Structures are given as structure tokens and as C-alpha cells.
């Protein structure tokens, strides 16, 4: 009996050891499998692997900008818009909304491409996004399924060479990067060029390539190069219904001295009949009118657009910009009280309609208060509140640059103005506001009439090193 008990105990011990061994093997196998899955996910070309790195405030800002593009016209970039919206919502923690947008992106691609096959290379990024979404939610079987779909598409539609991406991926990556910083916009132009070189018949890619080029020059004083203007003309000839491009081309012509008033007015009639969208062409057209036609006509055009679509926030934002520019450019002339009131009311409305991307509108409103003597106290209070708010570095840089000018011109406080230009320049973020503050500091130093010149000299020397 004793021997039987010993044998049973030995058997139980052996079974335990084997179970422990099998469990260890299972853990190792699961870890290896997970490592392999994550390696495959990291190798994908999609929004989750493009190192976009936007801050939370940038994500909210981007979400509002994407909403303004609109979806009424079967816009050719609709699939890309939905993909980026899906990624944006996921990063903000709205996973169910993200899932919905990724599904809408897949459907939009199928409708726009209008092909017999449901799948195509344009879905590679979308499937990659879905693989990441399911992985992040712990739905590994679904993640594996989308990885397999990507592999199948890669096998059926391989890139031209091992060192290049498929042109559809280049195009979507380029379009996405256009929505971020200036450096990424420059990279976007390169990706568009690569995509166009592989598939030169894609009209939308050529048009968006021009948009990326123009956007890269946005805050530069230099005139667009002849080669870019020529690319604009070629793209316009291939894409005659793109009124945003038409407005940009007219501006380029006007900068070179051509009289464009008649063409601008004809274009305005066409733009007003288009569905509301940030790509309808209204924004660049209003800028064209303000500079090269008539400030009054620009304001009237903006008001007509708002009257046609009184509930569209994007049009109100365009109108607010017109009134702001009219006030700032005519600050030495008497301004009608009704115009100031309209500018103030539009800006307040825009601020409420864009809760996450209205910093510039708040700054503009403070400056309207200040420059029109509407309320110096309100201007000072708005700036104080903004300075105490939680801002990203790029937002803080913009605020410091504007506040420095407010201190100089409205408060006649040159020393604090210099202090805030230094604060803007000290933020290691390359932007128009950084360059503008540096230029202003350099001019003050060169004039050598301010007791802060020594401090400016030392600051600039450290900044450049």
C-alpha cells in the first residue's frame, strides 16, 4: 500500500513538471508570436507607422479641418480623408468612431475607383490601419486577418522595386503629410513626385502636388518660381473643374502683374455654386479679391456665401478673415461702427464653432478690440487668458509673436515686446512665427537704438549655436 502511494506521488510530480514545462513553452511561443505580429505591424505603411506624432491639440485641430473639407461631391480624396479621420479619432480615444471612419474609407475607395474588383492597391493603407486598430483593441485574430489582406495585395500589386513603395501608398502618405508641418509638406511634394512618376495619368495627384508646393511657399515673401507656376498651369489644364487650383493660379498670375479682375469675378460666380468645402476655392479667391481686386468686393463675396449657406461654419470663418483684414489694413481710416460690430460678432461665433482650433481667431479678436479702440481692457484680458492657457509649443510660439506685436504697437512697451519675441524665437519649432520674431530682433539689433541691443545680440548668438 505504501509503495502504491509513492508511485502515485511520483506520477503526480512528473505530471506537474510536464505541465510546467508545457506552460513555459506556451508562454514562450505566445511571446514569439506576439513579437512576430508586432514586427509585421511595424513594417506596414499606414498612419500608425508614419511617425505623424501630432499633439492632442493638433489632433483636435486636424479633426475640425477635415470636417470642413466636406463629402458632398464624391471628393476624390474622400477615402484618404476618412482614413485620416479614423486615425485622428483613435488617437483621441474615440475607438468606435475610428472604426466607423476606417470602414467608410474602404467603401469610399471602392466607389471612387469604380472597379470590378472590390480590392486594389489603394486599400493597403486602410487595411494596415485596421490591422493596427484591432491589435490595439486586443482583437488579434482580426488584426491577423487584415495583415493577411495586406500581404495578398502586396503580392498582387508589388511596388516597382524593393526600395520603393507602391504609388498608391506614396500618394496617400503625401496627402496625409500635407496636413502637418512645413517640413512634412516638403516631404509630401517628394512623395507626390514619386507617385506621379510611376502613374503620370493620375490628375488628382498632380493637382495635390501643386497644392503641396504652394503651401510650402505660403509664408515666404519670395514669388513662386516659374517652374511652379508652369506646373500650376499644366495641372489646371488637366483639372479644369478644380476651382481651388484655378484661384491659386490666378493669384500667381496677379503677382506677376497680370490684370485678373474679370477672370476673378467670373470664377467667383462658379465658386458660389459649388457645395461648401474648404477646397471649393472660396478661401484663396477671397484673398485674391482682397489684394488684387477690391476689399469691398471681397467682403461682399464672403457675405453672399454666408447668406447662401447661413449654417456653414467654414464660410463664417472666411467672412471673419475678410473683416479682420479690412479693419487691419484700413486702421488709419475711420471705420464704420457696423463693420466693427460685424467683425466682432463673426469672430465670437467662429470661436464657439471651432472649440479646438480657434486660437488664431481669439488673437484676431483681441487685436480688433485693441486697434479699433472697441475695448482696450477686453483686448488685454483676452491676451492674459491666452498666455495662462495650456498651449502646445507651436501654439505658444504663435501667441508670443502676436503678443509681442500687440505690446509694441498698442501698448508702446518695446522692452516687453522684445522679451516675447525672444520667447517665440527660443521655442525650437521652425515656423513663420519663429522666423518673423528672429527677423524683428535682428532689425532692432541692427538699428542699435534700444538699450536691449546687447541682450538681443547675446540671445541671437546663442540661438544660432
Per-residue pLDDT of the chain (465 residues; tens, 9 = 90+): 556 556 656 656 665 656 555 454 545 544 556 678 899 999 999 999 999 978 888 999 999 999 999 876 557 899 999 999 999 999 999 999 999 999 999 999 988 887 656 789 999 999 999 999 999 999 999 999 999 999 999 999 999 998 999 999 999 999 999 998 777 888 999 999 999 999 999 999 999 999 999 988 775 545 566 688 999 999 999 999 999 999 999 999 999 999 999 999 999 999 999 999 999 999 999 999 999 999 999 999 999 999 999 999 999 999 999 999 999 987 656 778 999 999 999 999 999 999 999 999 999 999 999 999 888 999 999 999 999 999 999 999 999 999 999 999 999 999 999 999 999 999 998 889 999 999 999 999 999 888 889 999 999 999 976
Whole-angstrom distance, CA of residue 182 vs CA of residue 435: 13
Report the SS3 class of residue 46: coil
> How confident is the model at residue 7, as a pLDDT?
60
Going 66 to 72 to 75 to 81, the CA torsion angle's sign is positive
Residues 6+ positions from 82 with CB-CB distance below 8 Å: 101, 102, 104, 105, 108
Report the SS3 class of residue 274: coil
Whole-angstrom distance, CA of residue 348 vs CA of residue 404: 23
> How confident is the model at residue 182, as a pLDDT?
76
Going 360 to 361 to 362 to 364, the CA torsion angle's sign is positive
Phi, psi of 220 (to 5 degrees): -95, 140
> How confident is the model at residue 156, as a pLDDT?
94
> How confident is the model at residue 134, as a pLDDT?
97
Residue with cell 484591432: 134
Question: If you ran DSSP here, which 8-state letter would residue 140 be given?
Answer: H
The gap from C-alpha 114 to its chain's centroid, in whole angstroms, comes to: 28
- Give CB contacts under 8 A, 24+ apart, made by 416-421: 418/444, 418/450, 418/452, 418/455, 418/456
- Give CB contacts under 8 A, 24+ apart, made by 140-146: 140/37, 143/37, 143/41, 144/37
Whole-angstrom distance, CA of residue 397 vs CA of residue 432: 10
Report how many helices (DSSP H) and strands (DSSP E) the chain contains, helices first. Answer: 22, 0
> How confident is the model at residue 373, as a pLDDT?
82
Q: First CA to last CA across the chain, in angstroms?
A: 88
Q: Which of 62, 46, 49 is nearest to 130 (CA)?
A: 46
> How confident is the model at residue 445, as a pLDDT?
93
Q: Which of 113, 126, 44 is nearest to 87 (CA)?
A: 126
Report the SS3 class of residue 347: helix
Cell of 265: 469675378
Whole-angstrom distance, CA of residue 275 vs CA of residue 280: 7
> How confident is the model at residue 12, as a pLDDT?
60
Burial class from Cβ neighbours inside 10 Å (0-12, 13-18, 19+) for residue 278 reads middle
Q: Which of 193, 238, 243, 196 is nearest to 216 (CA)?
A: 193
Residues 6+ positions from 207 with CB-CB distance below 8 Å: 235, 238, 239, 242, 245
Q: Which of 251, 291, 233, 73 is nearest to 267 (CA)?
A: 251
Question: Distances from the Cα of 255 to the Cαs of 221, 260, 417, in angstroms?
Answer: 11, 10, 33
> How confident is the model at residue 116, as a pLDDT?
58
Other beta carbons within 10 Å of 203: 13
> How confident is the model at residue 26, as a pLDDT?
45
Amino acid at each position: 500500500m505504501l509503495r502504491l502511494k509513492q508511485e502515485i506521488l511520483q506520477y503526480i510530480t512528473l505530471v506537474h513538471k510536464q505541465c510546467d514545462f508545457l506552460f513555459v513553452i506556451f508562454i514562450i511561443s505566445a511571446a514569439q508570436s506576439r513579437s512576430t505580429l508586432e514586427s509585421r505591424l511595424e513594417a506596414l505603411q499606414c498612419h500608425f507607422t508614419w511617425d505623424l506624432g501630432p499633439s492632442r491639440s493638433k489632433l483636435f485641430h486636424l479633426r475640425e479641418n477635415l470636417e470642413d473639407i466636406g463629402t458632398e461631391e464624391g471628393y476624390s480624396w474622400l477615402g484618404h480623408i476618412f482614413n485620416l479621420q479614423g486615425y485622428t479619432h483613435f488617437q483621441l480615444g474615440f475607438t468606435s468612431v475610428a472604426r466607423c471612419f476606417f470602414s467608410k474609407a474602404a467603401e469610399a475607395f471602392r466607389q471612387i475607383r469604380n472597379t470590378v474588383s472590390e480590392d486594389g492597391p489603394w486599400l493597403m493603407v486602410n487595411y494596415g490601419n485596421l490591422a493596427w486598430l484591432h491589435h490595439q483593441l486586443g482583437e488579434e485574430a482580426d488584426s491577423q486577418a487584415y495583415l493577411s489582406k495586406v500581404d495578398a495585395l502586396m503580392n498582387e500589386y508589388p511596388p516597382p522595386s524593393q526600395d520603393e513603395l507602391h504609388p498608391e501608398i506614396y500618394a496617400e502618405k503625401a496627402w496625409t503629410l500635407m496636413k502637418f508641418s512645413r517640413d512634412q509638406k516638403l516631404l509630401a511634394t517628394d512623395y507626390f513626385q514619386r507617385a506621379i512618376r510611376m502613374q503620370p495619368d493620375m490628375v488628382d495627384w498632380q493637382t495635390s502636388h501643386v497644392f503641396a508646393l504652394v503651401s510650402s511657399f505660403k509664408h515666404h515673401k519670395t514669388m513662386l518660381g516659374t517652374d511652379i507656376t508652369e506646373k500650376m498651369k499644366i495641372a489646371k489644364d488637366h483639372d479644369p473643374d478644380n476651382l481651388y487650383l484655378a484661384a491659386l493660379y490666378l493669384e500667381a498670375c496677379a503677382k506677376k502683374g497680370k490684370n485678373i479682375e474679370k477672370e476673378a469675378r467670373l470664377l467667383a460666380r462658379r465658386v458660389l455654386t459649388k457645395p461648401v468645402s474648404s477646397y471649393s476655392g472660396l478661401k484663396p479667391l477671397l484673398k485674391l479679391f482682397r489684394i488684387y481686386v477690391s476689399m469691398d468686393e471681397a467682403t461682399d463675396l464672403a457675405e453672399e456665401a454666408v447668406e447662401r449657406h447661413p449654417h456653414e461654419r467654414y464660410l463664417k470663418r472666411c467672412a471673419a478673415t475678410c473683416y479682420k483684414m479690412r479693419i487691419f489694413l484700413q486702421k488709419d481710416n475711420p471705420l464704420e461702427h457696423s463693420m466693427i460690430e460685424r467683425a466682432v460678432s463673426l469672430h465670437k461665433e467662429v470661436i464657439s464653432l471651432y472649440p479646438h482650433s480657434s486660437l488664431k481667431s481669439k488673437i484676431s479678436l483681441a487685436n480688433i478690440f485693441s486697434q479699433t479702440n472697441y475695448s482696450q481692457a477686453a483686448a488685454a484680458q483676452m491676451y492674459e487668458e491666452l498666455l495662462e492657457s495650456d498651449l502646445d509649443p507651436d501654439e505658444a510660439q504663435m501667441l508670443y509673436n502676436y503678443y509681442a506685436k500687440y505690446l509694441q504697437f498698442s501698448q508702446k512697451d518695446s522692452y516687453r515686446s522684445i522679451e516675447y519675441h525672444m520667447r517665440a524665437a527660443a521655442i525650437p519649432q521652425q515656423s513663420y512665427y519663429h522666423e518673423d520674431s528672429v527677423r524683428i530682433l535682428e532689425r532692432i539689433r541692427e538699428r542699435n537704438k534700444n538699450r536691449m541691443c546687447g541682450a538681443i545680440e547675446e540671445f541671437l548668438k546663442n540661438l544660432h549655436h
